[in-house]
Amino acid sequence: MNVRQKPERTRLSAEDWEDAALSLIAEQGVGALAVEALARQLGVTKGSFYWHFRTREALLQAALERWEQYGEREIISQIEAIPDPRERLPELFRRVAHELQPHRVYAALLKALDHPLVVPVMARVSKRRTEFLHTAYSEAGMEANEALNRARLTYAAYVGFLQLNFTLGLPRLNHEEFDAYVEHMIATLIPA
Amino acid sequence: MNVRQKPERTRLSAEDWEDAALSLIAEQGVGALAVEALARQLGVTKGSFYWHFRTREALLQAALERWEQYGEREIISQIEAIPDPRERLPELFRRVAHELQPHRVYAALLKALDHPLVVPVMARVSKRRTEFLHTAYSEAGMEANEALNRARLTYAAYVGFLQLNFTLGLPRLNHEEFDAYVEHMIATLIPA
DNA sequence: TTGATTCCATACGCATGAGTATGGAATGCT
DNA sequence: AGCATTCCATACTCATGCGTATGGAATCAA
C-alpha cells in the first residue's frame, strides 16, 4: 500500500476542483457533474465547494475555460514546425490518431451540445481547428475553396469517428485495423 | 381558427406517447424526456401515462424501437432500385443531404450515447448503415478492404457533419455553400 | 500567542421529477 | 339501460441534488 494514494493535499484550490471536474466529465459526461459526487471523490463535502464556487454552473464554466486554454496548443505548434507543408497533414493525422486522453473530454462535450455553456466553447474550438486544417490544406497546394470544404470534411470525419468508435465503441477496431483505417483516411483525404 | 387544431383525440394510445416522445427527443434531446412535460404537451396528466407505460424508461425503450423500425426503410430501398451501381452512392449522398427531419432524432440520440438504452439501438443502426455503404462501395467497383474503410470514413463524415452543423450550427452554411460541400464530398469520397 | 482569514463540515431548506393510490369519467359490450 | 373495461385526473410519497446558514478547524500574520 502506498503511503499517499492521492496527493492528500489537506486544502483544495479552485483549480483542483476544475481538474477533477474535467476528468469526471471525460469519464462520465457533463451530465454527471454533480457537486456532492465531486466532493466525495475529492474527500471533502459541499461546504468546500461552495466556498470556491458560487454555483455548479460556475464550476462548469471555469472547467471549460481551463480546457479551452490548455487544449491543443502543443500539437498545433509541433505540426507547424514541420518544414515541408505537404508532410504536415499526414503527420497530423497520425499524431492525433495515436492520442487518446485529449479526445475523451472533447467526445464528452460533443454529447453535451444541448448545454448553453458548452456550445460556444465547442464552437470556438471546432472553428479554430477547422481553420487550421484549412490553411494546412492550402499550404499543401490545394485551391482555396476546395481546401475549405476538405477541411470541413476532414474535421467532420474526425468528430464522427470519435462518436462512433470512441463513445459508441462500434466496430471496435484492433490496432492493425485502426492503423489501416488511418492510412486510408490519409490516402483519400490528403492530395498526393 | 381551425376547428381541430390538434387531432383532439380524446383518448390516447401508447403509440401517441411514443410519437410525442420521439418529436420531443428530436427537439430537445433525450434528457428532456419527462413524463409530466410530455403529458402537458399532449393535454393530459401523468395518470394517463402510467396507464400506458410502466415507467419512463419503458417509454424511451418503446420510442427507440419504434424509431428503429420505421427508420430508413424507404431510402435504402429507393437507392437499391437504381440499376447502375455506380450511380447509387452519389444519389444517396444528395438524397440524404436534402433530408432534414430524419436527422434530428439521430443527432439527438448521438448526444445520448451515455444512456444504456440508446447505445445498442445506435450501434445496430450505425452498423446497418455502414454495411450498406460497404456493399455500395463494393458494387461500385471498389476493392473489398478499401470499401470497408471508405464506408467507415463516409459514415463518420456524416455523423460528424450532423454534430458540427446541425447541433452546433457551426459554419451555418447557406444553400449554395452546402450544395458545394456535398459535391465536394461526392468528389473526394466516391471513386470516379 | 492571538486575532484574522481561509477553508471545510454539518444540518438545513427547497425545487424537481418519478412513481403510487385511488376515484371518476368515457367507452364498449350485452 | 346497465355493467365492465378502458382511460385519465387528483393528490399524494419519496428520492435526488442544488444551494444556504452557520459554526468550527486550519493556517497565516502580527
Enumerate residue ranges in chain A where pLDDT < 50. 1-7
3-class state of residue A33 by DSSP: coil
Cβ-based neighbours of A130, under 8 Å, separated by 6 or more? A151, A152, A155, B170, B171
Q: CATH 1.10.10.60: does it fit domain B14-67?
A: yes
CA A30, CA B188: separation in Å to the nearest integer?
Answer: 35
Distance, in Å, from the CA atom of B86 to the CA atom of B136, rounded to the nearest integer, reads 8
Packed helices A14-28 and A56-69: angle between N→C axes, nearest 10 degrees: 80
pLDDT for the residue B9: 57
Specify the DSSP class assigned to residue A142. -
A169: nearest CA partner in chain B: B123
With beta carbons under 8 A apart, name residues in chain A contacting B152. Answer: 161, 164, 171, 181
CA atoms of B175 and A74, how far apart (whole Å): 36
State pLDDT tens for residues B115-133.
999 999 999 999 999 999 9
Question: Which residues in chain A are closer than 8 Å to B164, comparing Cβ atoms?
Answer: 126, 152, 155-156, 159
* Nearest of B50, B25, B26, B23 to residue B36 by alpha carbon: B50
Half-sphere exposure of B129 (CA within 13 A, CB side): 25
pLDDT > 80? residue B26:
yes
Mean pLDDT for chain B overall: 91
Q: Is the CB of B73 under 7 A from strand C?
A: no
Residue B8 above 70 pLDDT?
no
**Helix and strand counts by DSSP (H, E) for chain A:** 10, 0
Residue in B97, B60, B83, B76 with CA at minimum distance from that of residue B186? B97
- Between B153 and A2, residue with greater pLDDT: B153
Long-range contacts of residues B41-46, Cβ cutoff 8 Å, at least 24 apart: B42/B12, B42/B16, B42/B17, B43/B6, B44/B12
The grid coordinates listed for B119 are 447505445
Q: How far apart are the first and last CA of chain B?
A: 55
**A110 Cβ under 8 Å from any chain B Cβ:** yes
Mutate to test the interface with B, among A121, A128, A168 (most CBs of B within 10 A): A168
Q: pLDDT band at residue B57, thresholds of 50, 70 and 90?
A: very high
For strand C, list residues 51-70 of chain B whose Cβ lies within 7 Å of it: 54-57
Give pLDDT, residue B169: 75
pLDDT: which is higher, A134 or B73: A134
**Residue linked to cell 448503415:** B129
**How buried is A7 (Cβ within 10 angstroms: 0-12 exposed, 13-18 middle, 19+ buried)?**
exposed
pLDDT at A173: 87
> Residue A167 has what pLDDT?
85
Per residue in B39-51, pLDDT (tens digit) is 999 999 999 999 9
| Spatial contact of B12 and B48, defined as CB atoms under 8 Å apart | yes
Q: Which residue has the higher pLDDT, B147 or A11?
A: B147
Number of Cα atoms under 13 Å in the Cβ half of residue A14: 15
